[in-house]
Structure 1
Amino acid sequence: MKVGMIGLGKMGLNLVKNMIDNKIEVVGFDLNSDSIDKAASYGAKTAVDTQDLVDKLDSPRIVWVMVPAGKPTNSTIDDLIEKLDAGDILIDGGNSNYK
């Protein structure tokens, strides 16, 4: 199994580490290059942008989005909708404003 992870902050990076520890291949992307480097140090493959991430995944693709709620999540999902195909899986793991 191979999963694309977008958002390599505290939660996303720990999920990457857990998946790699459990023999799941991960391709990671984040706007912060230091976060990408940390994911690579755990054994993740990395992507330079969302298109590169999608291109590195096998179909049907699994993409997990772990970015802040609101505009960052919405714009990331809008971007991915243009790049993913029917049958691909998109997981929105961003937190929400519960109030």
Structure 2
Amino acid sequence: MKEEKDMKLNGGIYHRTQIDLTYNSNRIEGSKLTHDQTRYIFETNTIGASGESINVDDIIETTNHFRAIDMIIDKAKAKLTESLIKNCIF
């Protein structure tokens, strides 16, 4: 997945994991973003124009989730320590 992340490959496991895991996790927490809106935010880093209201907290939660997955991938081979956890800033 790290290689796909670094290549910014669309349609691969990394791409699919980011969108599906973020959408489902955030949905459980009450996010009203659709799967397509989540995908759009991931692919374009924008929210797009729509006629409906979008909760800012849902957008922030979504982008933070993307960054958290990236951090997990980037640190996958690092030893899990208290310091590592405390120094992971989103």
Is TM > 0.5 for Structure 1 vs Structure 2? no
More strand by share: 1
More helix by share: 2
